[in-house]
Structure 1
Amino acid sequence: MSLPAAIPAVHNPVSDQGDENGSEVAASNEVGRLRVLVCGSTVPSHLEDGSPRFVYDLAEALLKHADVSLLAPHLPGAERAGRLGNVPIERFRYFWPESWQRLTSSEGLGMRERFRASLLAKSQVPLFLWRESSAIRRIVKRDRIDVVNAHWLIPQGLAAARALKRLPSVQLVTHIHAGDVYLLRRLPFGRSIARSVVRRCTAVLASGSHVRDTLDDLLGFPSNALLQPMGVHTRQFARDMNAEGKHVPEAAQFPNGFLVTVGRLVEKKGTKYLIEAMPELLRSNPGLGLIVIGSGPEEASLREQISTLEIEHSVRLLGRLPHAEIVRYLHAARVAVVPSIIDSRGETEGMPTTVIEAMAAGTPVVGSRVDGIPDVIQHGKNGRLCEEKNPSDLAKQIRETLEETEDERQQKNKTLQIEKFDWAEVGRRYAEYLCTPQITKAEAKLQ
């Protein structure tokens, strides 16, 4: 499908109706361009606060093809309205006083972790959904939005489906990332909620094949969700690699180089299995180090594990770092490790962006055979895969990666085809999904 330079807007009767109070709605976009509202609960307060920023990066990538704005829940210290980088953003408050808002955090914790940790957070869910739904409807009518792009089935997908219930001309494209499906699978009415959101969707996207399969199982029939991982800024990685980014302070502490793993310190990241693999790796690679970037509820237990294994001299937990710093560590590392698992709740993640980021940096990758990781890593061709929760196999795959020659690594780099994960290309494909009405078989079956 060829994509026009400016995607034509879909006819939207809301444009001629004014807002709920009958006042005139002013058009603020370039005539003829698609108007897109991107909704997500994980949006950083600023671009270098260390929080996951893929929702913002997608919105920015779409700017070339459409008029885009962001909607996100309010964070402490963040402006209610303004710009995040190049993208206009509004943040809705969902509890008063603001200091009592518990479902969102500027500390890098996901909404599910906040939900589980606090009774107050659980009590705020209905108000959160109501406030988000109201904000979506208000912005759709005010800005004459053509497409709402919701990230996660719940809460964004559910809030958007409610907001657009009486606005049938406005398209809804929902992107499933993993945690939303696993949460709905446990809720008493999870299947009904999932079906109601999918019924309203023009198209559904999934970050990995396992996420899509889990959604299909939840619905009870094929969703026909399109696979679309998030992207990376490949040019940024290449530019940094040719500049000063190869050196990090810890490099001198590890004469045999270091491994790096990036992500929130939660069970499904599998960090404890990587730490458990370190003693075996150190026997064959003395002087090897491990750098862990990220924060989360498992930090204390991981530090205790490191102490018990007596490998404090070989492991550094750095906490959250700005994205530019993460790029430097990925460049300097000998191997990037993504030891994700299916956790005790039966949950895993969609497609860890660290896999693609490491590939873009030219750093060898070892990842687990779970969810979207095998969608990208082809064992022995562009990286290595290990069995989840298996420190011995993980150590084996890392050791064999460390033993690869430079020629072998260069040959693997030629097979990466990393360009298809560049945000420019992801934005182009995503714009096609938003531009082209795609009534799925799942929706037809529900009607």
Structure 2
Amino acid sequence: MTRVLIITTNYPRWEGDPHSPWLLELMGRLREKGYEFDVLAPAFQGLAAHRIGQTPVYRFRYAPARWETLTHEEGAPNKIRKNPLYLLLLPFYVLAGMWASWRLGGKGRYDIIHVHWPVPQGLFGLLARRAGGGRLVATFYGADLVLAQRFSFLKPFVRWFAGRCDDLAAISSYTARELTRLSGREPRIIPYGIHLPPEQDWPATPGRILTVGRLIARKGHIHLIRALAHLPEAHLVIVGEGHEREALEQEIRRLRLEDRVLLTGRVSDAELEAYYQSCQVFALPAIVDESGDTEMLGMVSLEAMRYCKPVIASDVGGIPDIVVDGESGVLVPQKDAETLAAAIRQVLTDEALARRLGHGGYHFAREHFSWGSVERATRAMYGEADAAG
């Protein structure tokens, strides 16, 4: 068995916790190929070491339990932007993570150390390798690069860390370009994988627009709500929760759209699947927010494509890796409610166009985002010479 240590900020806290389900899926597939995993992740409100399925999860404590909320839920960058007092936890987080990595790396003697979100977890990976050896690889998701752009003192760290890795991956071509610009190294592009049900036309609720995502600025929900004001024949379902909810509710009241917008909050997997299946169009109105953060891939678009739903999305970040304009969906400029409304109206009123885009998206997802290709690319990053074939 090849022993792998996964170092990450964001790992499920219990069975069924919605954080990083794609990572669990990938680890399960690699386990069938002879890999064995341990995980190192921060505690959340005092959470101790535990297991998720077959995987031991080692949690490092960095504060009293009631303050251990830097990670999970909205994610550390969003929490820090919302409440800068979270910055006070960072030194303790980094020191605790470094100590835990040193101890676990020396004890575990891992063949591979895989760091996810390398700012600041790259330090943990380097210490684990120093303590016990192993091949060091890292996956960048984009949030770490946004932090490096915002805080210039982090740029040298990204270059330094990337130069010491045996291999690198990014989840989209956009993230890869940003990483190359900062570090001078060209990473592999390894996106998320997706399961596809049999291809079919799923019955839609007429006029239903769906969007899914945390209620944070970069998701652009407010622009979709403003677009709805131009679409009297439509109604909008927004699935997700976050600190922007109050602002969105105020905008809904201002535009008198209370009877046509549903904010569901968090829903079960079964409810979410039903919303995907029943929408007539899926929208991802993402923006580049004030901090420079944006969608680095846009996984929710792929989820809609599973059900042959036409996707309309902003032309920002890594979204064009999934939404190819006119082929797998429609791209529109960010923050442009009128253009967004016009694109939605066209899809709602042109059944042939909607069907062509929906099935085009399904075929695109099948060709470019299969779990088989993600698994092979990851094994190649881990050093399997014949895995990429």
Normalising by the residue count of structure 2, what TM-score does the alignment of the two structures yield?
0.90
Determine if contact 1:116/1:122 at 8 Å carries over to the other structure: no
Aligned to 2:163: 199
Asked if 1:209 corresponds to 2:155, the answer is: no
Give CA deviations for 1:283-325 in whole Å, capped at 9, x if unaligned: xxx2x22111111111100000011010111111111223343
Cα RMSD, aligned residues only = 2.5
Asked if 1:430 corresponds to 2:378, the answer is: yes
Amino acid at match of 2:16: E
| Identity of matched residues, % | 30
Instruction: Select between 327-336 and 52-61 the one with higher mean Cα deviation.
Output: 52-61
Larger Rg, first or second structure (1 or 2): 1
Mapping of residues 406-445 of structure 1, within 5 Å: 408-409=356-357, 412=360, 415-418=363-366, 420-436=368-384
Cα distance between partner residues in 1 of 2:43 and 2:21: 15
* Displacement of 1:113: 1.7
* Displacement of 1:99: 1.1
Determine if contact 1:338/1:367 at 8 Å carries over to the other structure: yes
Determine if contact 2:103/2:131 at 8 Å carries over to the other structure: no
* Displacement of 1:224: 0.6
Aligned to 1:61: 29
Match of 2:139 among 161, 175, 180: 175
* Displacement of 1:121: 2.0
* Displacement of 1:417: 4.5
Relative distance call for 1:330 and 1:46 in structure 2 (3 A) is farther
Determine if contact 1:50/1:323 at 8 Å carries over to the other structure: no
Determine if contact 1:42/1:53 at 8 Å carries over to the other structure: no
Relative distance call for 1:417 and 1:101 in structure 2 (3 A) is closer
Asked if 1:144 corresponds to 2:109, the answer is: yes
Instruction: Select between 122-131 and 303-312 the one with higher mean Cα deviation.
Output: 122-131
Aligned to 2:231: 281
Aligned to 2:351: 404
Secondary structure of the 1:435 match is coil
Determine if contact 1:71/1:90 at 8 Å carries over to the other structure: yes
Secondary structure of the 2:300 match is helix
Amino acid at match of 1:260: L
Aligned to 1:129: 94
Match of 1:360 among 287, 302, 306: 306
Contiguous gaps of at least 5 residues in structure 1: 1-32, 438-447
Cα distance between partner residues in 1 of 2:362 and 2:68: 48
Higher relative contact order (CA 8 A, sep 6+): 1
* Displacement of 1:174: 0.9
Asked if 1:267 corresponds to 2:235, the answer is: no
Amino acid at match of 1:75: F
Aligned to 1:341: 287
Relative distance call for 1:104 and 1:377 in structure 2 (3 A) is same
* Displacement of 1:420: 4.1
What is the number of residues matched between the two proteins?
382
Normalising by the residue count of structure 1, what TM-score does the alignment of the two structures yield?
0.79
Amino acid at match of 1:94: Y
Determine if contact 1:152/1:175 at 8 Å carries over to the other structure: yes
Aligned to 2:76: 111
Aligned to 1:75: 44
Cα distance between partner residues in 1 of 2:155 and 2:228: 42
Give CA deviations for 1:33-61 in whole Å, capped at 9, x if unaligned: 22111122122323434444333333333
* Displacement of 1:407: 5.3
Determine if contact 2:136/2:167 at 8 Å carries over to the other structure: yes
Determine if contact 2:46/2:61 at 8 Å carries over to the other structure: no
